[in-house]
Structure 1
């Protein structure tokens, strides 16, 4: 009878848990616009926290550092607005107005090359498909939709200036009182786990900071190189095309292809050196993808390309244009949480490091620790152990690092460590051989079919 009652309670508990999770998911979905706005504000605050930290290390108080950083940022934005935006807006408007004619002229140039070489099929675009007013209005409507997707919940009542003002206020609040939000989040965590929670939050901030800075640096270089190259080649509206190339670079994988297509279309329309323009875009893209991005993003954040593409597809479907724009920071957050909470904590698979330590007696021991590991912070397991022993983890002696001494460092122990590595290499080789054999079998079956 007790077992039956227990089963019923367990069943009811699971049903209520499922209902709660479904309700939470629906609530988060309805608030996705506000959530993305907060995420964007946190990203901007993370980026601006770098100059704030630099000024604080030079003797400025937090308020002074934030004030100087915000004023400097506004001055830079104002200079960009005065020196660059008018020219860019004029050239961008010219691009939109010239697009129908550019498409038609590009189509004629392409068909001429196709007929002369006989290598490509000809494409005929009807004159009815190229009505200038319709295409221009369509492009402007899509730009308005993209702006509305950035801040969907303000799309009907706010202007772009109002949206940017709200984003600016959020960013300033995040910068002015960063510890207040961190402390507020830590109060929701049990005391024994707060050091670990702080470590995870620190890792999140570092990952997002690296992601944002790497994208900004990469986009700036792409815009500069593209604008300079197009100007040298004599392409019209080089500044607008270069800024578009830098902006599209914030969208990994797909953005560079779009910027290349736009550059080729307007180069064909203006009778410019199309081949040289294509070569320029390809050189800039190869420089960005093989030199800049690997050194900044892949080596510091270790982001697999397939994960970035998958995140772009999902984020684009859920959050629209803003999801595509923030794909890399989203990947940084997701990968950091998975690594810290699941791999390190749930699976206890933090990378082990075996070191030698010589004691005062002269005897050597093998010491197993983990990397990264900071002595002033305790893992959840160590904090729980101290709590069980009646000690407060927050009163734990600073600088005392909990380690595990395996035993005397002998040649036999060293050989055991080496043999373990050899075993793992052998297992990986065996798995690789099995995968190759499976692929070969599939290829043989497909050829027979």
Structure 2
């Protein structure tokens, strides 16, 4: 009886310590969550810039890995070759087309307000559309809102100089990440408890394969869309076909919403010539998007995460509301990464369901 009383007397302090430990752990997790939430809100632009650097590093690493495998050279040597090749293509291409791009950009800035005015004039002739036209802002305000998208497109700094600064940061940090990825990935893995490190490496590998496959496919899709749009608009006789094709190719990085944004100035310019030309321009953009949606996109999703269109659009709206245009641009790769994390860490590890595959491994 004496031993039993001693155990009962010793049990409450033990229980209190256990409760105190749990309380401290829960409080620590809550504080950490609040800290992370505050960091995301206050440093959203910087975090998006870091994510863009990671995407650049993944793309460079994948290209150098493919080149090293084909040429049987070291991967760092292949990385140098990839960087030099991209610099040469961008440098010579920019040097050769810079005068034409500059001229067409200036003309585009002048033509859009006039095209909007002509469109509003034609709309006012129809009684049903006249009410809608009355609710639209003046052409100057529409052009100003379109122009405001350029500074908002920056991830960290604002304005044109800031956008160029973002590109330089993304390229240089991406090259450093791609040169020695193990240095950074091993550092992240060491933050995970030792028992879970093998699984963490599996998740990391799956994330890298998913994002690299998506980036390679999207880069090819952007190039095809840009070239086909420029050639198609040139054959139709739409003015400023080169700059409109470049815009279409760049905005193709944003699924669903990007082609609509790229098509608006092209249709407005075509409408300034004739309604038939505007109709043909719309059909051109619709045709390009149908080919991309039913041919190019399935090839991309065959080795990446198959994201439902509704989910992608919702993610674009959510990230666009939170982070501006940069959030819209990066919403799809962010959604792809989150899909992999949910599949592997929650569906497979927590729920134990490994039969329902959210994505396909590359």
TM-score range, shorter chain: 0.7 to 0.9
Is contact 1:236-1:270 (8 Å) kept? no
Alignment of 1:374-385 (within 5 A): none
Distance 1:330 1:339 in 2: 14
Q: Does 1:266 align with 2:278?
A: no
Q: Does 1:247 align with 2:250?
A: yes
Label 1:299 to 1:306 Cα distance change in 2 as closer, same or farther (>3 A). farther
Residue 195 of structure 1 aligns with which residue? 198
Q: Does 1:318 align with 2:322?
A: yes
SS at structure 2 position matched to 1:164: helix
SS at structure 2 position matched to 1:251: coil
Residue 117 of structure 2 aligns with which residue? 104
Is contact 2:213-2:303 (8 Å) kept? no
Q: Does 1:77 align with 2:80?
A: no
Alignment of 1:9-408 (within 5 A): 10-11=22-23, 13-57=25-69, 58-111=71-124, 114=126, 120-122=128-130, 129-131=138-140, 139-147=146-154, 150-151=155-156, 154-155=157-158, 159-271=162-274, 273-297=277-301, 300-351=304-355
Please identify, of 12-21 and 283-292, the stretch whose mean Cα deviation from structure 2 is larger: 12-21
Post-superposition offset of 1:87: 1.8
Distance 2:178 2:296 in 1: 29
> Could you tell me the TM-score, scaled by structure 2's length?
0.84
Label 1:325 to 1:308 Cα distance change in 2 as closer, same or farther (>3 A). same
Is contact 2:238-2:266 (8 Å) kept? no
Distance 2:67 2:345 in 1: 33
Post-superposition offset of 1:298: 6.0
Once the two structures are superposed, residues 126-178 of structure 1 have per-residue CA deviations (whole angstroms, 9 ceiling, x without a partner) of 999345xx66555434312323xx22xx4499744433222222011111111
Distance 2:288 2:136 in 1: 35
SS at structure 2 position matched to 1:122: helix
Label 1:122 to 1:30 Cα distance change in 2 as closer, same or farther (>3 A). closer
Once the two structures are superposed, residues 15-38 of structure 1 have per-residue CA deviations (whole angstroms, 9 ceiling, x without a partner) of 443233212321233222222111
SS at structure 1 position matched to 2:349: helix
Label 1:137 to 1:345 Cα distance change in 2 as closer, same or farther (>3 A). closer
- Structure with larger RCO (C-alpha < 8 A, sep 6+): 2
Please identify, of 10-19 and 24-33, the stretch whose mean Cα deviation from structure 2 is larger: 10-19
Post-superposition offset of 1:191: 3.6
Once the two structures are superposed, residues 242-267 of structure 1 have per-residue CA deviations (whole angstroms, 9 ceiling, x without a partner) of 22222222221222222232222111
Unpaired stretches in structure 2, ≥5 consecutive residues: 1-11
Is contact 2:112-2:265 (8 Å) kept? no
Structure ranking higher in strand proportion: 1
Structure number with larger C-alpha Rg: 1
Is contact 1:41-1:167 (8 Å) kept? yes
Once the two structures are superposed, residues 168-225 of structure 1 have per-residue CA deviations (whole angstroms, 9 ceiling, x without a partner) of 2201111111121222223233444332222111100011011212222222222222
Is contact 2:203-2:344 (8 Å) kept? yes
Distance 2:136 2:259 in 1: 29
Structure ranking higher in helix proportion: 2
Distance 1:299 1:255 in 2: 22
Aligned residue-pair number: 344
Distance 1:215 1:56 in 2: 22
Once the two structures are superposed, residues 89-122 of structure 1 have per-residue CA deviations (whole angstroms, 9 ceiling, x without a partner) of 321221111222111112334455x47xxxx533
